[in-house]
Amino acid sequence: MQAEGREWVNLFSEESIDRFDYVFTDAMTFTDEKGRRNRIWLPEETFIDDEEEFMDYLVNTLVTILNSEPIDIYVNATFLPEQMADRYHHFWTEKRMDEVINALQANNIAMEINNRYEIPSPAFIKRAKKAGVRFTVGTNNADENFSGAKYALDMIKMCNLTESDFWLPVKKERI
């Protein structure tokens, strides 16, 4: 089940959610402290008054998602808006990485290695692996033009990921 936005948890019953083998979401859609709906993959729908404050709000939102939403996989992991993406390493500090990694680990949520956006960074993946976070591979493909899995394969080698580092869904019994 792909869970979009933060309101999804109020739109589906627990019984409906339980029918899926796994649930995934990201932190790309949220409402900021001023009540503005942000869809951070769209520059015209991303509201950044102060980049550091925006980043802190994004990390806090993500940690809240990981601590409260019934998900199995965090996808589009560490995505930043176009206005900030070229400074990924500046914004994803060790402190911010650790906040997210701690929430992933505490809630047994896997993190996607995303081929389309080439995220998270090798440093983020290595820190997450050290903390015991599991991984999945994805791409957030928007059309039939699959970008391939080169980034994930490179990260698997660079970060010494093994089969045991990857999350697998548990098939649920169907009634």
Per residue in 64-118, pLDDT (tens digit) is 999 999 999 999 989 999 999 999 999 999 999 999 999 999 999 999 999 999 9
Q: Which residues contact 12 (CB under 8 A, 6 or more apart)?
A: 1
- Residues 6 and 32: beta-carbon distance below 8 Å: no
Q: Which amino acid is at 166?
A: F
Average pLDDT over residues 8-36: 92
Q: Which amino acid is at 116?
A: R
Mean of the per-residue pLDDT values for the chain?
93
H or E stretch covering 105? helix 94-106
Say how far apart CA 90 and CA 123 lie, in whole Å: 12
Average pLDDT over residues 29-58: 95
pLDDT of residue 146: 72
pLDDT of residue 163: 96
78 phi and psi angles, rounded to 5 deg: 70, 20
List pLDDT tens digits, range 136-166.
Answer: 999 876 677 777 789 999 999 999 999 999 9
Quick one: 52 exposed, middle or buried, by C-beta within 10 A (0-12, 13-18, 19+)? exposed
H or E stretch covering 124? helix 122-131
Average pLDDT over residues 28-56: 95
Decide if pLDDT at 134 tops 70: yes
Say how far apart CA 131 and CA 66 lie, in whole Å: 16
More confident residue, 122 or 8: 122
